[in-house]
Amino acid sequence: MADPYIILNELAQELRPIPQGIEWFEGLSTEEQSNTLRLLSHFCIQARATAEDGPESIRRAGLRATHTPAVLITRGRIDQQLGKIASLTPHDERLKSFRLLIAVLAVADERRRERFCSDGCGHAWHRLSVDTPEASA
- pLDDT one-digit tens code per residue, 23-41: 999 999 999 999 999 999 9
Percent of the chain beyond pLDDT 90?
Answer: 77
Could you tell me the pTM of the whole model? 0.83
Distance of CA 6 to the CA centre of its chain: 12
Q: What is the pLDDT confidence band of residue 132, given thresholds at 50, 70 and 90?
A: very low
Mean pLDDT lowest among 13-27, 31-45, 77-91, 123-137: 123-137
Which of these, 61, 83, 58, 60, lies nearest to 71 by C-alpha position?
Answer: 58
**Between 34 and 133, whose confidence is greater?**
34
Which of these, 83, 131, 75, 78, lies nearest to 108 by C-alpha position?
Answer: 78
